[in-house]
Structure 1
Amino acid sequence: MFRTRDGEVALAPSQEQSYQRVLDALGLAELRADPRFATNDLRVRNRAAVNAAIEARLVTETTEYWIETLNAAGVPCGRVMGLPEVFADPQILDQEMVLQQEHPGHGTVKMLGFPIKFSEAPCVLRRPTPEIGADTDAILVDLGYSAAEITALRHAGVV
C-alpha cells in the first residue's frame, strides 16, 4: 500500500513487466538506471528505497488520478478502503457481498460474504463468527485430546 495525496492505493508490481509499466505510468524512468533496482531480487532486497521513490511520486496526486493512470498503463491496482467504504461500495453491493448475521454478543452485524458466486453451490453463512476461544474444546477433541487433557491444558494456562 502506498499513500497518495488523499488516501492510499494498493499495487504490487512483482513481475518485471508490471514494474516497468509502473515506472512508465509514474514518470520514474530514472529508476531503471539505479543498480539497486535492476532485478526483482534486488528490488526485494532494497524494498524500502524503491517503495519510498514510488510513494514520493504517488503523494503528488489523488488516489483516483493514480488508479486511472495506472489502470490505463495496464497496472493492476486499487483504492484502499476502510470498512464503511467497503460496505457502501457499489460493486460490493451489486455483487451482494454484504451479509447481515445475528451475533449473540453483538446483535446484527454486517460482514463480507464470499467474493465468488457459484450457481450450483452457493456459499452461505451457517453461523456468526465465534468469540475467541469458543471452539477451543471442540478443536482439541478433534485433535484427539481427552476431557482430562483439555482440563490440564486449561489449568496450565496453555489454553
Structure 2
Amino acid sequence: MHEYAVQCYTLSGGTVLPQQTGHDMPTSTLYGVFRATDGDLVIAAQVDDAWQRFAAMLEANGGPPGFGSDRRYHSLNGRNAHREAILAVVRDWVGARRVAEILALLDGIDIPSAKVQRIDEVLADPQIQARNMVIEQQHPRYGTLRLANLPFRFSDCDTTIHQVAPDLGQHNAEVAAGLGFSTEEITAL
C-alpha cells in the first residue's frame, strides 16, 4: 500500500524520504481526500489532461473565473508549485457541495473519484457483496461469525476460507504426532 513512498525512496537512492502531509500527495497535485457538506470523497485529477477537465468543470460550476485556463496549473510541476493555492480553491468548492453532486460532475468528465465510505457502507456495497468479500462461518464456541474473506482471487484456485481459526494449541498433539513424537512424549510436553 506504500508503493509510491517505496519508489520515491528506492529510485532516489534513499535521498527522498516522503513525509506525511495530510490527505493529499504533495508531489501529485491534485490527488487526495476532500470534505463535502455530507461526507468525504477522493479526487484523482493529477494527470495533465484529467486536471484540465477537472479545472474547467470546477470553473464552470461556481469556481473562480480563469481557474480552468490558468496555464500555471497545466503541468504537474506547475500544479505542485502552486499546490496550496489549488487546494484552497478545491477545498472551498467541494466544501460547499454534497458528495453525490460532486461525484456526478466528476463522473461526467471521467475523473476518478469515490466517496469515502464508513465500514457499514463498505459492507453493504454491491461490489463487496458480489465478490463475496464477507463470509459466514460457524464457530463451535461463538456461533455464526461474519468475517472478511481473502481479498485476492485466482482463476483456477478456490481461495475461500473453509474452516475457522483454531484455538491456541488446539492442534499441538496432532502436529507433534505427525512429527513422530509418541503419546507419552506429547503428554510430557
* TM superposition score normalised by structure 1: 0.64
Which residue is equivalent to 2:51? 19
**Shift, 1:24, TM fit:** 2.1
Which residue is equivalent to 1:97? 133
Which residue is equivalent to 2:41? 9
Deviations along 1:82-126, one digit per CA (max 9) or x if unpaired, are: 2121011122112212235689xx994532641x54331243458
Q: Is the 8 A contact 2:48 2:74 kept in 1?
A: no
Which residue is equivalent to 1:137? none
Give identity over the alignment, percent: 23
Note the 1:111-126 alignment, pairs <5 A: 111=148, 113-114=150-151, 117-125=153-161
**Aligned pairs, how many?**
124
Greater RCO structure (CA 8 Å; 6+ sep): 1
Counting helix residues as a fraction of each chain, which structure ranks higher?
1
**1:77 is the counterpart of 2:113:** yes
Which 4+ residue blocks in structure 1 deviate beyond 4 angstroms? 100-103, 125-128
> For residues 118 and 60 of structure 1, do their structure 2 counterparts lie closer, same or farther at Cα, with a shift above 3 Å needed?
same
Higher alpha-carbon Rg: 2
Alpha carbon RMSD of aligned pairs, Å?
A: 2.9
For 1:4 and 1:41, the matched residues in 2 are separated by: 27
Q: For 1:111, give the aligned amino acid.
A: A
Q: Is the 8 A contact 1:102 1:109 kept in 2?
A: no
* TM superposition score normalised by structure 2: 0.55
> Which consecutive unaligned segments of at least 5 residues does structure 1 have?
129-159
> For residues 54 and 96 of structure 1, do their structure 2 counterparts lie closer, same or farther at Cα, with a shift above 3 Å needed?
same
For 2:101 and 2:117, the matched residues in 1 are separated by: 16
> Which consecutive unaligned segments of at least 5 residues does structure 2 have?
1-32, 166-189
